[in-house]
């Protein structure tokens, strides 16, 4: 059996107006989140972010489109998801990224991972997230937001 690595990324996808993309988890209807996923093989963290965004949204962008916040969060893995990890692994380290796109757009969700998506203003999006680390990242976005031009997709 191949176990998931307890190293993951969180990618907050947003517009210049700070509208946030949220995805509803297929395994937990009503649980909304940004793009997340575990590092695979010898991927760098930016490669993990790129892959997860592509898999979960259909958005394919180069590494320079992503902003690495140099922030990590460590949290306890929910008991129901621990069998995906090696025996004895109880915590995950999450690396925070953001990705600014020009405007809200239709998303191609991964139906095995998500039921739906929505775009919300940042405060509403933060309030809707089930994860404290996701909520906190969205709440930090206005002060981290840059006025750099969006990468066209």
Percentage with pLDDT > 70 across the chain: 95
Q: What is the mean pLDDT of residues 61-72?
A: 97
The domains of the chain, with CATH numbers, are 7-144 (3.90.79.10)
Q: Are 66 and 99 in contact (CB under 8 A)?
A: yes
Q: What is d(CA 61, CA 54) in angstroms, rounded to the nearest whole number?
A: 8
Report the residue count for the chain.
Answer: 153
Residue 92 Ramachandran class (φ > 0 left, ψ -120 to 50 alpha, else beta): beta
pLDDT at 1: 77
Tens digits of per-residue pLDDT, 138-149? 999 999 875 454
Instruction: Please list the residues that pair with 85 across neighbouring strands.
Output: 4
SS (HEC) of 68-111: EEEEEEEEECCHHHHHHECCCCCEEEEEEEEEECCCCCCCCCCC
Degrees, nearest 5: CA angle 110-99-132: 75
Half-sphere exposure of residue 52: CA atoms within 13 angstroms, side-chain side: 29
Q: What is d(CA 83, CA 81) in angstroms, rounded to the nearest whole number?
A: 6
Q: What is d(CA 28, CA 16) in angstroms, rounded to the nearest whole number?
A: 30
Tens digits of per-residue pLDDT, 25-45? 998 899 999 999 999 999 999
């Amino acid at each position: 059996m191949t176990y998931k690595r307890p190293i993951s990324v969180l990618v907050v996808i947003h517009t210049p107006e700070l509208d946030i993309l949220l995805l509803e988890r297929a395994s937990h209807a009503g649980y909304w989140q940004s793009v997340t996923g575990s590092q695979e093989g010898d991927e760098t963290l930016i490669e993990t972010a790129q892959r997860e965004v592509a898999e979960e949204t259909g958005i394919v962008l180069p590494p320079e489109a992503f902003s690495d916040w140099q922030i990590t969060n460590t949290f306890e893995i929910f008991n129901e998801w621990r069998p995906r990890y090696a025996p004895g692994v109880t915590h995950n380290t999450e690396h925070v990224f953001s990705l600014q796109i020009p405007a809200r757009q239709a998303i191609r969700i991964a139906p095995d991972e998500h039921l739906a998506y929505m775009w919300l203003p940042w405060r509403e999006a933060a309030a809707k997230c089930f994860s404290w680390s996701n909520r906190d990242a969205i709440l930090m976005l206005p002060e981290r937001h840059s006025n750099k031009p969006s990468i066209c997709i």
